[in-house]
C-alpha cells in the first residue's frame, strides 16, 4: 500500500503509452496504400504483404485496440492525479481546463492547419481526399473546437487520429464535475462502467460510451492499486502478465472476437501490468522519457504519411515502395524522431507559455478576489 505523502511515478505507464502509439502507427501503415478515402481497412490478404508482417501481425491486424488502452491509462492517471484535488476543491474548473488545454490544444491546432493545407493540395492533384473525407469548413470549425467526434454521426476528418482525443475531452469534463459531487471511490467507477455498458447496449453515443467504459475502468484500477500491499504486488504483477498474454493470444488466434468485454479485459490487464512493473523492473525509469513522444507521434504520423504520398505520386513512384522493410523502419524512425523534436521545440514551449501566462493572470486576480466581502 502506498504511504500517505509518498510521491509515486508510473514509468511503466509511460512506456505503455508509447507502445500504444507504436501500435496505432503500425495499424495506420495501411494508409499508404489508400488512393482516396479509406473506406474499409486493408484486407488480410493485403496486410500479409506489409513489411515484417510475421513479427508485427498483431499490430497490423489489431492495432486499433491501443485506443481503449489509451483511455484506460488516462482514467488511471486522472484518478491518481486529480480526483482528490478536485473533490477537496484544491483544483477549480478554470485551472483544470487550462492544464488540459495547454497540454492538448497547441499541437492539435498546428497539425490541423498542416493537414488542412496538405489535404487541399492532395485533393487538387488527385480529385479526392487522402483517407479522411469531409474536409470542409463546417468540420474544420468542429476540429477547432475539439468537438469533431462528440456525435457518432460525424465522420473522421482532417487529422483523423484526433477523434479519440476529441471524445476524451467530453469525459474530462464529466470527470471533473463527478469528482466535485461525489468522493472518488471504486463504487463510483463501477457505476460509471455499468452506465456505459447500458448506453452501448442501446447504441447510444457509442464513441463516448466506449470512452466512459475504459476511462473509468482505468479509474477503478487506480482505486484498487491503492489497496494492494507491497508484499502482494509481485503476485498481482504475475497474474496481470499472464492474463494480458492470454487475452492477446486468444484475440490473435481469433478464439475470441473483438468486443466490449474482451477489449476491457485486455486494457485492464495491460494497464495493471505496466502499473505494477515499476516495482520489479527499475530500468523502466531510464526509458520513461519516451512517454513524452506519445502525443506528438500520434498526431504527426498522418501528416507525415500524406506528405510522403504526395512526393511519391508527384514523381510517379509506385507506392509498393512502402512494402520495403527498410522504408517501413525509416518511416517509424522519422515519426518518432520528429515527435521528439516537436515535443521539445513546440509542444512543451507552448504548454509552458500558456501555463505561465495563466498563472500570471491568476496571481493578479487573487488580491482583487480576496478583497471582495
Asked if the model's pLDDT at residue 178 lies above 70, the reply is yes
pTM of the model: 0.89
Q: Rounded distance, CA 362 to CA 91, Å? A: 13
Asked if the model's pLDDT at residue 373 lies above 60, the reply is no
Q: Rounded distance, CA 90 to CA 83, Å? A: 10
Asked if the model's pLDDT at residue 250 lies above 70, the reply is yes
φ/ψ (deg, to 5) at 107: -70, -35
Whose CA is closest to 243, among 265, 221, 214? 265
What are the boundaries of each domain within the chain? 11-362
Average pLDDT of span 137-147: 94
What does the block give as the cell for 314?
A: 508527384
Query: Is 259 in contact with 247 (CB distance < 8 Å)?
Result: no
Q: Write down the pLDDT at residue 41.
A: 60
* Residue 373 DSSP one-character state: -
Whose CA is closest to 303, among 126, 163, 133, 111? 111
Query: Is 33 in contact with 319 (CB distance < 8 Å)?
Result: yes
Whose CA is closest to 78, among 176, 149, 167, 185? 176
What does the block give as the cell for 242?
A: 499472464
Cell 456525435 identifies what position?
Answer: 151
Who has greater pLDDT, 235 or 111?
A: 111
Q: Write down the pLDDT at residue 321.
A: 94
- Tens of pLDDT, residue by residue over 192-216, are 999 998 988 787 768 899 999 999 9
Q: How far is CA 362 from CA 106, 278, 353, 355, in A?
A: 21, 37, 14, 10
Q: Rounded distance, CA 325 to CA 50, Å? A: 8
CB atoms within 10 A of CB 140: 16
- Sequence-distant contacts of 115-120: CB under 8 A, at least 24 apart: 115/158, 115/159, 115/302, 115/303, 115/306, 116/140, 116/158, 118/303, 118/306, 118/307, 118/310, 119/158, 119/306
Asked if the model's pLDDT at residue 370 lies above 60, the reply is no
Taking the CA atoms of 51, 52, 56 and 61 in sequence, report the sign of the dihedral they define: positive
CB atoms within 10 A of CB 71: 25
176: region left, alpha or beta (phi > 0 left; psi from -120 to 50 alpha):
alpha
Asked if the model's pLDDT at residue 38 lies above 60, the reply is no
CB atoms within 10 A of CB 103: 16
Whose CA is closest to 249, among 264, 262, 234, 237? 262
Average pLDDT of span 362-366: 59
Average pLDDT of span 178-186: 91
Query: Is 288 in contact with 9 (CB distance < 8 Å)?
Result: yes
First to last CA, the chain: 44
Whose CA is closest to 212, among 225, 199, 201? 199
Q: Residue 300 — very low, low, confident or very high, per pLDDT cuts 50/70/90?
A: very high
Amino acid at each position: 500500500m502506498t504511504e500517505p505523502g509518498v510521491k509515486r511515478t508510473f514509468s511503466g505507464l509511460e512506456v505503455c503509452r508509447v507502445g500504444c502509439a507504436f501500435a496505432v502507427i503500425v495499424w495506420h501503415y495501411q494508409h499508404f496504400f489508400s488512393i482516396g478515402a479509406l473506406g474499409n481497412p486493408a484486407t488480410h490478404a493485403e496486410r500479409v504483404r506489409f513489411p515484417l508482417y510475421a513479427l508485427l501481425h498483431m499490430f497490423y491486424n489489431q492495432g486499433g485496440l491501443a485506443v481503449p488502452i489509451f483511455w484506460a491509462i488516462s482514467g488511471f492517471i486522472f484518478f491518481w492525479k486529480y480526483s482528490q484535488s478536485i473533490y477537496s476543491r484544491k483544483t477549480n474548473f478554470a485551472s483544470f481546463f487550462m492544464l488540459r488545454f495547454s497540454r492538448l490544444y497547441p499541437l492539435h491546432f498546428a497539425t490541423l492547419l498542416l493537414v488542412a493545407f496538405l489535404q487541399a493540395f492532395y485533393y487538387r492533384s488527385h480529385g479526392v481526399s487522402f483517407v479522411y473525407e469531409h474536409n470542409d469548413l463546417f468540420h474544420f470549425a468542429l476540429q477547432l473546437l475539439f468537438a469533431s467526434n462528440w456525435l457518432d454521426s460525424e465522420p473522421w476528418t482532417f487529422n483523423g487520429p484526433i477523434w479519440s482525443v476529441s471524445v476524451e475531452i467530453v469525459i474530462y469534463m464529466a470527470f471533473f464535475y463527478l469528482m466535485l459531487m461525489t468522493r472518488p471511490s471504486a463504487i463510483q467507477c463501477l457505476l460509471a462502467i455499468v452506465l456505459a455498458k447500458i448506453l452501448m447496449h442501446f447504441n447510444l453515443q457509442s464513441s463516448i460510451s466506449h470512452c466512459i467504459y475504459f476511462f473509468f475502468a482505468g479509474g477503478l484500477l487506480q482505486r484498487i492499486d491503492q489497496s494492494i500491499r507491497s508484499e502482494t504486488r509481485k503476485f498481482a504483477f504475475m497474474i496481470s502478465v499472464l492474463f494480458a498474454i492470454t487475452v492477446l493470444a486468444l484475440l490473435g488466434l481469433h478464439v475470441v472476437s473483438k468486443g466490449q468485454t474482451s477489449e476491457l479485459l485486455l486494457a485492464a490487464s495491460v494497464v495493471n501490468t505496466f502499473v505494477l512493473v515499476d516495482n520489479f523492473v527499475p530500468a523502466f525509469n531510464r526509458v520513461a522519457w519516451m512517454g513524452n513522444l506519445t502525443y506528438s507521434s500520434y498526431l504527426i504520423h498522418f501528416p507525415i504519411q500524406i506528405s510522403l504520398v504526395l512526393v511519391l505520386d508527384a514523381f510517379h513512384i509506385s507506392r509498393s515502395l512502402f512494402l520495403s522493410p527498410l522504408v517501413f523502419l525509416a518511416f517509424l524512425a522519422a515519426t518518432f524522431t520528429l515527435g521528439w523534436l516537436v515535443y521539445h521545440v513546440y509542444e512543451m514551449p507552448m504548454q509552458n507559455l500558456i501555463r505561465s501566462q495563466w498563472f500570471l493572470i491568476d496571481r493578479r486576480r487573487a488580491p482583487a478576489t480576496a478583497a471582495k466581502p
